[in-house]
Structure 1
Amino acid sequence: MSRSEPPAGRHAVVCGAGAWLPPRGVSNAELTRRLDTTEEWITSRTGIEHRHLVDGGLSTGDLAVEAGLLAMKSAGTSAVDAVVLATTTPDRLCPATAPDVAARLGLTGVAAFDVSAVCTGFLYGLASAAGLIASGLADHVLLIGAEAFSTIIDPADRTTAVIFGDGAGAVVLRAGNADEPGAVGPCVLGSDGGLGDLISIPGGGARGRSSGRDRTPNDEYFTMRGKDVYRHAVHRITDAATTAVDRAGWHLAEVDRFVPHQANQRISTAVAERLGIEPARQVSNIARVGNTAAASIPLLLAQAAEAGQVRPRDRVLLAAFGGGLTWGAATLSWPDITAYSAIGSSPAAVPAA
């Protein structure tokens, strides 16, 4: 696994957080009317009761803009030098979605790029944003995780259609010191491309287009081998989280809040048990929003901070596992900020600087 530790002098510090969900809410009861399943089966297998889905032409970029506005409102500034967007569902294959998001946020001219690591995307983006700050390339970075995952799910596949939801979360990072609230600790990242077929979308890319074979509608849908994914996810997240805590100089008993990617409640529970983190120190929103992939961690952070479940100076452990295969973990001291989250409504104007 690779590591990312900003050098002394310039450190990435979280100074704003926001989250946004599309207005359309979908309950388990609604899904059972078109899928061969029951509400009890969905809840017992996933922990999910409700999720939000895009409709009416809403896209990943739209979600990202709304979350970005809320994060900048939280930070009290629009003075951003770079926009990093973690997503599995870009608005189109080319160009990247981040430059369009930046332009719509009034940030034309800044660096902007997408990061693709599926559900681990936010942590890969966090390491990238911290690197931009540590190197001096940026003083402020807007990091967004946004997904319209329902657009790549087979609506007739009960194994995936019940799990995923759409949404976006974002944080603003600024240059600061390693010992102040909001400071991002070491990031631990890993991958195993030899197991890439466990989570994939077979079609749409260069390999499928150049193969010469006829494409089918199923080629464009997300596929996942659930039992294998569960086994690898629990092992990799546990290992990465333990490593991140150790590199931060913490003990697992000192973690105030465990904020895992909301993949499946059973995965989160299994990892927490292996880490010795009891339920009182775990934070979750999967019951209400489902698995929002790269948006999961920042969305959960913003909602939890707004609700007072994550408090200033809390020692926070972040962890995720996704397609690639990819995985990662990071530590964070939570800042004293006002986080914002919204469903379907647009935020007020952001201060100019």
Structure 2
Amino acid sequence: MQSVTESATNATNGVTIIGSGSAIATQVISNDDLTKIVDTSDDWIRSRTGIEQRRVATSTTLSELAAEAGQKAIAHAGLTPLDIDLIILATSTPDDLFGSAAQVQSLMGATRAVAFDLTAACSGFVFSLVTASQFIRTGVYQNVLVIGADFLSRWVDWGDRTTCILFGDGAGAVVCQGNPEKDHLLGFEMCSNGALNNNLNLSYQGNLQDIGEDKQINHGGFQNITMNGREVYRFAVNKVPEVIEKALFRANLTTGDVDWLILHQANKRIIDAVANRLKISPEKVISNLENYGNTSAASIPLALDEALKEGKIKSGDIIAVSGFGAGLSWGASIFRWGK
């Protein structure tokens, strides 16, 4: 297992997070809708996951939804697309396997920005936020747009009640900006353990085909999501509190300094267990899982944006975020909101 850490005290240029935006698919699939295709019930799903409904994209592309979230974040930051220097798209479900970030850049008209995808599944937003901070702290880029977007509905077996009840589609974004006088990205921690990879997969499977007397090719495609729910739950409730505490240590803070906790929106029981272990009161936990399900890399910025729109989060508030999932990967970041 490899771990990467960073403290804001080592920064040469400060990072501020100054704008947010989100976009959701229009089609709503309720728990009752799922009872028509799998053996389940609204009560069964709610009691085990906390999810009441999820959004599933049909005609909208991931690039289009990501661009919409990005445009809203840029406007919220008081900038224009031409002010953006770098776009990082956190996604595991691009429209194009070669990457969708450049298409997002084009759709937004952010013609000055370089763009690339970052794949870390449900940890993708946290990993991308940290990646963006490194470009800013070294002075390479001033304004970086970080987008988390996933359409996991594309890779769900809709006949498998253990996974089809969980996932939804969405996008969320934030704008990070360099500031020589302030550093609001206070600390972070990122971890990976590939030995646990088999617990959550969207894997490639191929078949060997002969193309000559002694030559073969391996031709196939990606399969549906498979998950060992029990092991993923155990992993999350053990590792997520630990990684948040390490990030807080890097920031010279404690859980008592946290105004808001935003976890990857995977399962209400995981969210409750992590908050309980950290001794963070439920009033400080932001969650919108019941309305959107697990939107992977989109879940944290989507919840953040909604909380800002609702007036919960104020400028200067300290926010702890943590993503966790396939890889297996997990990470946390502590930041102060606003300029």
TM-score by length of 2: 0.92
State the partner residue of 1:107. 110
Q: Is 1:292 aligned to residue 286 of structure 2?
A: no
Cα displacement (A) at 1:297: 0.5
Q: Secondary structure at the match of 1:159?
A: coil
Once residues 293 and 207 of structure 2 are traced to their aligned partners in structure 1, the CA distance between those partners, rounded to angstroms, is 32
Partner deviation per Cα, 1:253-282 (whole Å, 9 max, x = no partner): 121111111010000111111100110111
Partner deviation per Cα, 1:109-152 (whole Å, 9 max, x = no partner): 42211110100000110011001101111000000000111001
Once residues 148 and 39 of structure 1 are traced to their aligned partners in structure 2, the CA distance between those partners, rounded to angstroms, is 23
Contact 2:200 2:227 in 1 (8 A): yes
Richer in strand (by share): 2
Cα displacement (A) at 1:230: 0.5
State the partner residue of 1:139. 142
Once residues 61 and 39 of structure 1 are traced to their aligned partners in structure 2, the CA distance between those partners, rounded to angstroms, is 32
Q: Is 1:220 aligned to residue 223 of structure 2?
A: yes
Partner deviation per Cα, 1:325-353 (whole Å, 9 max, x = no partner): 100001011116xxxxxxxxxxxxxxxxx
Q: Secondary structure at the match of 2:68?
A: helix
Q: Is 1:252 aligned to residue 255 of structure 2?
A: yes
Q: Secondary structure at the match of 1:83?
A: strand
Q: Is 1:272 aligned to residue 278 of structure 2?
A: no
Once residues 219 and 41 of structure 2 are traced to their aligned partners in structure 1, the CA distance between those partners, rounded to angstroms, is 35
Contact 2:16 2:337 in 1 (8 A): no
State the partner residue of 2:201. 200
Partner deviation per Cα, 1:192-217 (whole Å, 9 max, x = no partner): 0111111111226xxx47796785x8
Identity of aligned residues (%): 37
Cα RMSD, aligned residues only: 1.7
Once residues 177 and 46 of structure 1 are traced to their aligned partners in structure 2, the CA distance between those partners, rounded to angstroms, is 43
Once residues 112 and 210 of structure 1 are traced to their aligned partners in structure 2, the CA distance between those partners, rounded to angstroms, is 35
Once residues 314 and 151 of structure 1 are traced to their aligned partners in structure 2, the CA distance between those partners, rounded to angstroms, is 36
Partner deviation per Cα, 1:27-75 (whole Å, 9 max, x = no partner): 111111111100000000000001111012x221111011001101101
State the partner residue of 1:350. none
Contact 1:13 1:177 in 2 (8 A): no
State the partner residue of 2:131. 128
State the partner residue of 2:189. 188
Once residues 207 and 119 of structure 2 are traced to their aligned partners in structure 1, the CA distance between those partners, rounded to angstroms, is 20
One-letter code of the match for 2:170? G
Unmatched 5+ stretches in structure 1: 337-353
Partner deviation per Cα, 1:286-319 (whole Å, 9 max, x = no partner): 0111110000100110001110122221111101
Cα displacement (A) at 1:99: 1.0
State the partner residue of 2:177. 174
Cα displacement (A) at 1:104: 1.3
Q: Secondary structure at the match of 2:162?
A: helix
Q: Secondary structure at the match of 1:125?
A: helix
Contact 1:83 1:112 in 2 (8 A): yes
Unmatched 5+ stretches in structure 2: 210-216
One-letter code of the match for 1:73? A
Cα displacement (A) at 1:251: 1.3
Contact 2:6 2:250 in 1 (8 A): no
Q: Which moved further from structure 2: 310-319 or 260-269? A: 310-319
Contact 2:172 2:298 in 1 (8 A): yes
Contact 1:258 1:316 in 2 (8 A): yes
One-letter code of the match for 1:184? L
Q: Is 1:43 aligned to residue 60 of structure 2?
A: no
Q: Secondary structure at the match of 1:107?
A: coil
Contact 1:4 1:127 in 2 (8 A): no
Contact 2:237 2:274 in 1 (8 A): yes
TM-score by length of 1: 0.89
Q: Secondary structure at the match of 2:163?
A: helix
Q: Secondary structure at the match of 1:161?
A: coil
Match of 2:66 among 64, 67, 89: 64
One-letter code of the match for 1:4? E
Q: Secondary structure at the match of 1:188?
A: strand
Q: Secondary structure at the match of 1:186?
A: strand
Contact 1:163 1:291 in 2 (8 A): yes
State the partner residue of 2:87. 83
Q: Which moved further from structure 2: 286-295 or 309-318? A: 309-318
Once residues 334 and 214 of structure 1 are traced to their aligned partners in structure 2, the CA distance between those partners, rounded to angstroms, is 47
